[in-house]
Amino acid sequence: MEITAEIERRQRTNKLRFYKPYRKQREFHAAGAEKSERLFMAGNQLGKTIAGGAEWAIHLTGRYPDWWEGATFNRAPLLWAGSVTGESTRDNPQRILIGPPAIEEQWGTGFVPQDCIVDRTRAMGVPNLLDSVVVRWGGGGDIQASESIIAFKAYEKGREKWQGPTVDGVWYDEEPPEDIYSEGLTRTNNGQRGQFAQTTFTPLLGISTVVARFIMPAPGDVGALSRHVTSMTIDDAEHYTPEDRAKIIASYPAHEREARAKGIPTLGSGRIFPVTEESITIAPFEIPKHWVQIGGLDFGWDHPFGAAGCAWDRDADVFYVTKTYREREATPIIHSAALKPWGSWLPWSWPHDGLQHDKGSGEQLAKQYKAQGLGMLPERATFEDGTNGVEAGLLDMLQRMQTGRWKVFSTCGEWFEEFRLYHRKDGKVVKERDDVISASRYALMMKRHAKVNKPASDWNFKTQAVA
């Protein structure tokens, strides 16, 4: 009984040691090694705040686990953590880090181990809210143990309360106003590692300025390359059974289900495809030999290059997106090398900007991909009547979705990421993060040129030279 009690005590007071992150949580942590700003956008009760708290505890203690692939500090850091109000800061980041706020005897049962808590200072005005905690930091090896500090903040106190000293990192738990986010990020401008911030929330405020900063950066925003988004849906939460997921989703109001269960920003009537993800998702299967297939390309450099492999069941008139590819700032050689394994026989549909001449070589983009071995169709993507309107293509896609004639393999993660955020503003399509979706639209427009899968020798693309 004494041994059992001691094991239980050690587990309660050293929770960090037993942290086993889900796949999405690991992705979030690992991105910190290269990205200075990270967003964990997830539904409710899926583990985003747990991930944020565990990471902050790892930095505060210097106890980096063997599986850790994220950022590291070689000295004791000064970190901030904040939420909307003093109460929410106490009940979420403070609770996750230190333990139940109302039971002082249990402080030390959060992710910061009890034996690492050196001192703490209470805040004024909110019961059981801490202002700061001093944590014993020991980086291991020859690094001498020292003390790190975690200070707690609240958005409601205003921007002025987020001014002050230079810190090593800021954790925003729940979505902050733009001015708070900017001020906190400014505090991390230091020589140790540059800006370092993590944000964890469920996007109930829709496409706010902070959300747009990550998922729809403005043209020319050089900082976009230093940001990372981890999206997590209820399907990624390993602690729920299928029955649990169904009950939880059904418990949410219909207009909040996608935000609370899938971490999708609330878009309301602005969504371009107002259909459920489940209605168009299908498990991957082997494409029947008599079905025709086609690929679609969306050229890009600053915004990603996108590609979609598609199959068309002509008998039932059902169009399937079976494969996707998305990459930014890579040359035609790189993209083509990634796509040629899909099949040298596969015809590729491409948009009007494929006729543009590359500034370096002076050669048309479409011809460059042709030269790399892709079976580029001879003409840019158009409908049978010769038109190429975006709205007509989107309407065709939507009608197919609504009638069960548009399906997407569940393995096409990039396509679904864009689907969840594809929306209009002031009636116009927002042309951001739509690369793979656009590629699938070009493929749909040119489905009349789709081919059955035959050996490469059966097709003579030399007779289909790009105009």
Catalytic residues, which ones?
174
Q: Most distant CA pair in the chain: distance in Å?
A: 82
Closest CA to 408 of 285, 306, 243, 261: 285
Give me the long-range contacts of 125-134 (CB less than 8 A, separation at least 24): 125/86, 126/86, 126/87, 126/90, 127/102, 128/90, 128/101, 128/102, 128/104, 129/86, 129/87, 129/89, 129/90, 129/94, 129/101, 130/90, 130/94, 130/98, 130/101, 133/97, 133/98
CB 300 within 8 A of CB 289: no
The residue type of 224 is: A
> Interior CA angle at 251 toward 248 and 255, to 5°?
110
Reading the block at residue 436, the tokens are 């793979």
Name residues whose C-beta falls within 8 Å of residue 136's C-beta, 6 or more positions apart in sequence.
61, 115, 116, 117, 118, 145, 147
CB 349 within 8 A of CB 444: no
Q: What secondary structure, in 3-state letters, does 407-436 show?
A: EEECCCHHHHHHHHHCEEECCEECCCCCHH
- CA-based torsion, 387, 390, 391, 396: positive or negative: positive
Local structure of 232: helix, strand or coil: strand
Reading the block at residue 314, the tokens are 């002509």
Q: What are phi and psi of 388, to 5 degrees?
A: -145, 35
The residue type of 456 is: A
Local structure of 446: helix, strand or coil: coil
According to DSSP, residue 177 is labeled P
Name residues whose C-beta falls within 8 Å of residue 148's C-beta, 6 or more positions apart in sequence.
59, 60, 61, 62, 76, 77, 78, 79, 134, 135, 137
Closest CA to 323 of 353, 285, 359: 285
CA-to-CA dists, residue 164 to 46, 155, 183, 221, 264, angstroms: 33, 15, 10, 27, 34
How many whole angstroms separate alpha carbon 260 and alpha carbon 264? 8
